[in-house]
């Protein structure tokens, strides 16, 4: 399993790297073979990492997302998945290079993590874990893609052939918020059953609540006239910085209930 | 044409229900919590453990004042949270007047209601809840939890080990009794599966072998044993009782485990003397009153550790979570339908 994991991981990295180069060259040009083959290569990479996740899940009987390697893989699946959906729905090919750059960075960081499958500790052996983790990474992935779209908008670049950047941004923020709400609800119920309280004064929970309230605020103002344009874009980018700190910063630098080391 | 002046009450109302007000308070809330939590962690990584060990209002009343100014952010957070919830409540009231005709409205209403119920539950739990932690019970023992008016009995306990012999979980069979000893509820308690009786919940918090007594020899009397809760009665009517044990590798003051603290008491219950004896050299023999004791070994039993929490607001929180889930699901499918 370890050998297979390593091989598939590096194969996916290669396909994403090829896709990045091809998309960087051909994404702006409609009908360009670079862009078509770039997306195909990204599709293969996506199928590889998703297939690896399903295979590892099947092998151990639980969603394997407990360490740095697995979590970054899972985050990459959501980021690439959301962007590929946007390329299909809104012809957002120009977004692919940015997403792929982020995914390549995530997978390179994941290469340093432990790829072995560890047995699930009893505390994590609950369906609430599955719901909590899958929805949190769905949200993180959407917030990341949202930040990339905002970055494009700030630079005056187009992410979609149809000019649907605002619509894509709205989908990322709205659906990301819904997923993150489910993550928080499942996490609180799980904490109540496992540790005796739905609310604990621990740094991970506190920062997750900050993230939740932050995006509650963004959600409330995203359609208000005076917040359109760069203010909303800056807020979305700052939101992703908050995601990075809550997910990676706390997990790697602090002693938390969600360690990544 | 004269411009009609807006009623000042309406101006205040508009300000209170304005999303911008909510966003401003949210931002302040996030900043306060973010900065405060980092400072608190950097100063003492165990800060949170102390906060979690007692109900929030007890922490605010008794512990936080001693930690000022480093706990000031929590008081500010409480104030901002109240403002946020008032804003939420007023927005919900506003919905009934203005937005109930739209299809999106119910989803937003449910989400706001869910948040408010969670908050009400949190306030009830913080103000009137009770937390008793690290209750160590050996098999068959009954522990009185006076502050909650209940007793906890450990009927059986099994440890779940992995292939290497490391403890994964402790599965306990416990009974919760009322003050008179009548059974309230009984059942299994393990990780992710606590014993629940309404607002009272018994959570396992580990377990293992515990020293519950000692085997020792008394000069001129030979080998004797004592274990809790029954004291050893001596020929002169005095008693030796076991007051506490230290497992191997554990320390308390200058004492090192494995060992036991024994107390000599008069027939009327007065404590006359106490001594720690154990297997580590200097503690191998000890004087207890005018007797010379020599350590033979510990009396060991399996024990489990529990936290018992009583949270009168938990039903509000659970209903709030269900309503939040429904509201966000409504919002989710509504959003998908609108964007198709």
Residue B3: inside a domain: no
- How many residues would you count in chain A? 261
Residue B195: inside a domain: yes
Asked if the Cβ–Cβ distance from A196 to B160 is below 8 Å, we say no
Residue B196: inside a domain: yes
Residue B271: inside a domain: yes
Per-residue pLDDT of chain A (261 residues; tens, 9 = 90+): 788 989 999 999 999 999 999 988 887 777 788 888 988 999 999 999 999 999 999 988 888 887 888 889 999 999 999 999 999 988 888 899 999 999 999 999 988 878 888 777 777 778 888 899 899 999 999 999 999 999 999 998 888 888 888 889 999 999 999 999 999 999 999 988 888 788 888 888 888 998 998 998 888 888 888 888 898 999 999 999 999 888 877 766 666 655 555
Q: In a mutagenesis test of the B interface, which of A122, A205, A226 is the best target, namely the one with the most B β-carbons within 10 Å?
A: A122
Q: What is the mean pLDDT of residues B295-300?
A: 90
Calculate how close chain A gets to B240, using CA atoms only, in Å: 38
Please give the Cα distance from B243 to A69 (Å, whole number): 49
Any B CB within 8 A of A126 CB: yes
Q: Range of B106's domain?
A: 8-129+315-339
The CA dihedral of B98, B101, B103, B107, to the nearest 10 degrees, is: 50
Q: What is the mean pLDDT of residues B175-198?
A: 89
Any A CB within 8 A of B333 CB: no
Neighbours of B149 (CB within 10 A): 11
Please enumerate in sequence order all residues whose Cβ is within 8 A of that of B127, keeping only pairs 6 or more positions apart, or say none. B55, B57
B289 sits in the region (left: phi over 0; alpha: psi -120 to 50; else beta) called left
Asked if the Cβ–Cβ distance from A213 to B26 is below 8 Å, we say yes
Residue among B22, B191, B317 whose CB faces A122 most closely = B191
Any A CB within 8 A of B173 CB: no
Residue B2: inside a domain: no
Q: Which residues in chain B are closer than 8 Å to A255, comparing Cβ atoms? A: 45
Between the alpha carbon of residue A196 and those of residues A149, B52, B111, B159, B257, the distances in Å are: 41, 10, 25, 20, 31
Is B182 found in the same domain as B168?
Answer: yes
Q: What is the mean pLDDT of residues B287-303?
A: 88
Residue B1: inside a domain: no
A-facing residues of B in 288-317 (CB < 8 A) are: 307, 309, 311, 314, 317
Is B151 found in the same domain as B169?
Answer: yes
pLDDT of residue A51: 95
Q: Which of A214, A146, A209, A201 is nearest to A183 (CA)?
A: A209
ipTM: 0.84
Between the alpha carbon of residue A244 and those of residues A77, A116, A121, A201, A250, the distances in Å are: 16, 24, 26, 20, 9
Residue A21: inside a domain: no
Q: Which of B125, B45, B27, B37 is nearest to B83 (CA)?
A: B27
Residue A53: inside a domain: no
Residue among B22, B201, B321 whose CB faces A196 most closely = B201
Q: E strands within chain B? A: 130-138, 142-145, 150-161, 167-178, 183-189, 195-197, 200-218, 222-227, 232-233, 239-246, 251-252, 255-256, 259-265, 271-278, 285-288, 291-310
The string of DSSP letters for B238-271 reads -EEEEEEEE-TT-EETTEESSEEEEEEE-TTS-E
Q: In a mutagenesis test of the B interface, which of A168, A172, A188, A213 is the best target, namely the one with the most B β-carbons within 10 Å?
A: A213
SS3 B123: helix
The structure's pTM equals 0.82
DSSP H or E segment with residue B108 = helix B105-128
Q: Give the confidence band of B99 by pLDDT, cuts at 50, 70, 90.
A: low
Residue B142: inside a domain: yes
Q: Which residues in chain B are closer than 8 Å to A195, comparing Cβ atoms? A: 203
Neighbours of B210 (CB within 10 A): 19
A96-126 pLDDT, tens digit each = 999 999 999 999 998 887 888 877 777 777 8
Is B89 found in the same domain as B64?
Answer: yes
H helices within chain A, ranges in order? 2-26, 33-60, 68-90, 96-111, 127-155, 165-195, 203-221, 230-244, 250-253
Q: Which residues in chain A are closer than 8 Å to B83, comparing Cβ atoms? A: none
A-facing residues of B in 121-160 (CB < 8 A) are: 122, 131, 160
Q: In a mutagenesis test of the A interface, which of B18, B19, B123 is the best target, namely the one with the most A β-carbons within 10 Å?
A: B19
How many inter-chain contacts (A to B, CB under 8 Å) are there?
A: 102
pLDDT of residue B151: 92
The string of DSSP letters for B290-312 reads TEEEEEEEEEEEEEEEEEEEE-T
Please give the Cα distance from A192 to B203 (Å, whole number): 9
Residue A43: inside a domain: no
The total of structural domains in chain A comes to: 1
Please give the Cα distance from B178 to B4 (Å, whole number): 67
Q: Give the confidence band of B261 by pLDDT, cuts at 50, 70, 90.
A: very high
A-facing residues of B in 3-42 (CB < 8 A) are: 19-20, 22-23, 26-27, 29-30, 33-34, 37-38, 41
Q: What is the mean pLDDT of residues B9-24?
A: 81
pLDDT of residue A255: 64
Is B13 found in the same domain as B36?
Answer: yes
Q: Range of A238's domain?
A: 121-253
Q: Give the confidence band of B90 by pLDDT, cuts at 50, 70, 90.
A: confident
Q: In a mutagenesis test of the A interface, which of B38, B39, B42, B191 is the best target, namely the one with the most A β-carbons within 10 Å?
A: B191
CA-CA-CA-CA torsion sign (B254, B207, A68, A128): negative
| Burial per residue of B171-182, b for 16 or more beta-carbon CB atoms within 10 angstroms, e otherwise | bbbbbbbeeeee
Residue with tokens 């078509």: A36
Q: Which residues in chain B are closer than 8 Å to A254, comparing Cβ atoms? A: 41
SS3 B193: strand
Residue B294: inside a domain: yes
Residue A36: inside a domain: no
Between the alpha carbon of residue B19 and those of residues A223, B48, B79, B134, the distances in Å are: 11, 32, 19, 44
Is B214 found in the same domain as B168?
Answer: no
pLDDT of residue B4: 62
Asked if the Cβ–Cβ distance from B192 to A126 is below 8 Å, we say yes
Any B CB within 8 A of A190 CB: yes
CB contact at 8 A, A102 and A163: no
Asked if the Cβ–Cβ distance from B324 to A122 is below 8 Å, we say no
**Percent of the residues in chain B that have a pLDDT greater than 70, as a whole number:** 95
Q: What is the mean pLDDT of residues B188-212?
A: 86
Please give the Cα distance from B23 to B73 (Å, whole number): 19
Residue among A122, A198, A254 whose CB faces B41 most closely = A254
Neighbours of A34 (CB within 10 A): 17
Calculate how close chain B gets to A119, using CA atoms only, in Å: 10
Is B106 found in the same domain as B138?
Answer: no
The string of DSSP letters for B273-286 reads EEEEEESSGGGSEE
Rounded (5°) CA angle B59-B65-B68: 120
Six token digits for residue B132: 């008793």
Asked if the Cβ–Cβ distance from B190 to A210 is below 8 Å, we say no
Is B222 found in the same domain as B194?
Answer: no
Please enumerate in sequence order all residues whose Cβ is within 8 A of that of B213, keeping only pairs 6 or more positions apart, or say none. B225, B226, B227, B228, B242, B245, B260, B298, B299
pLDDT of residue A229: 86
Residue A112: inside a domain: no
The total of structural domains in chain B comes to: 3
Is B124 found in the same domain as B42?
Answer: yes
B112-169 pLDDT, tens digit each = 889 889 989 988 888 888 888 888 888 888 889 888 889 999 988 888 777 777 777 7
């Amino acid at each position: 399993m370890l050998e297979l994991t390593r091989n598939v991981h590096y194969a996916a990295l290669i396909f994403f790297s090829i896709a990045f180069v091809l998309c960087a060259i051909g994404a702006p040009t409609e009908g360009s073979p670079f862009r078509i083959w770039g997306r195909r290569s990204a599709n293969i990479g996506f199928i590889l990492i998703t297939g690896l996740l399903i295979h590892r899940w099947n092998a151990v009987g639980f969603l394997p997302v407990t360490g740095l390697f697995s979590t970054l893989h899972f985050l990459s699946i959501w980021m690439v998945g959301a962007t590929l959906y946007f390329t299909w729905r809104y012809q957002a090919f120009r977004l692919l290079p940015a997403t792929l750059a982020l995914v390549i960075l995530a997978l390179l960081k994941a290469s340093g993590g432990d790829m072995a499958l560890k047995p699930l500790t009893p505390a994590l052996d609950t369906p609430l874990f599955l719901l909590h983790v899958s929805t949190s990474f769905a949200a993180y992935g959407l917030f990341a893609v949202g930040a990339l779209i905002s970055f494009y908008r700030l630079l005056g670049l187009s992410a979609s052939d149809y000019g649907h950047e605002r619509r894509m941004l709205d989908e990322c923020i709205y659906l990301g918020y819904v997923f993150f709400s489910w993550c928080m609800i499942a996490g609180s119920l799980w904490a109540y059953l496992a540790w005796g309280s739905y609310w604990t004064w621990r740094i991970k929970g506190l920062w997750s609540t900050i993230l939740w309230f932050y995006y509650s605020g963004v959600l409330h103002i995203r359609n208000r006239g005076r917040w359109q344009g760069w203010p909303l874009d800056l807020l979305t980018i700052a939101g992703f910085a908050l995601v990075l700190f809550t997910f990676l910063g706390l997990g790697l630098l602090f002693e938390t209930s969600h360690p990544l080391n | 044409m004269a411009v009609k002046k807006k009623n000042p009450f309406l101006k205040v109302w508009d300000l209170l229900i304005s999303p911008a007000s909510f966003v401003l308070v949210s931002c302040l809330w996030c900043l306060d919590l973010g900065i405060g939590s980092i400072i608190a962690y950097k100063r003492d990584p165990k800060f949170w453990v102390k906060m979690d060990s007692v109900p929030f209002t007890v922490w605010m009343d008794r512990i936080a004042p001693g930690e000022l100014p480093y706990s000031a952010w929590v008081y500010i957070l409480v104030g901002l949270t109240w403002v946020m919830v008032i804003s939420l409540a007023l927005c919900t009231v506003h919905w009934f007047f203005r937005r109930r005709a739209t299809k999106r409205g119910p989803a937003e209403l449910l989400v706001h209601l869910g948040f408010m119920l969670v908050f009400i539950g949190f306030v009830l739990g913080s103000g009137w809840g009770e937390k008793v932690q690290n209750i160590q019970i050996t098999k068959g023992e009954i522990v009185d939890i006076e502050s909650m008016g209940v007793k906890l009995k450990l009927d059986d306990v099994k440890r779940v080990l992995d292939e290497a012999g490391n403890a994964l979980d402790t599965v306990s069979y416990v009974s919760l009794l009322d003050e008179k000893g009548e059974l309230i509820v009984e059942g299994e308690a393990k990780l992710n599966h606590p014993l629940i009786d309404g607002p009272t919940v018994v959570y396992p918090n580990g377990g293992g072998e515990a020293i519950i007594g000692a085997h020792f020899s008394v000069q001129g009397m030979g080998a004797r044993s004592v274990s809790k809760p029954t004291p050893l009665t001596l020929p002169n009517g005095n008693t030796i009782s076991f007051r506490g044990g230290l497992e191997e590798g554990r320390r308390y003051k200058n004492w090192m485990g494995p060992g036991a603290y024994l107390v000599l008491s008069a027939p009327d219950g007065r404590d006359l003397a106490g001594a720690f004896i154990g297997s580590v050299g200097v503690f191998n023999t000890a004087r207890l009153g005018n007797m010379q004791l020599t350590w033979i070994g510990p009396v060991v039993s399996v024990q489990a550790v529990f936290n018992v929490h009583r949270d009168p607001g938990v039903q509000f929180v659970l209903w709030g979570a269900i309503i939040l889930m429904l509201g966000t699901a409504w919002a989710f499918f509504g959003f998908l339908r609108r964007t198709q």
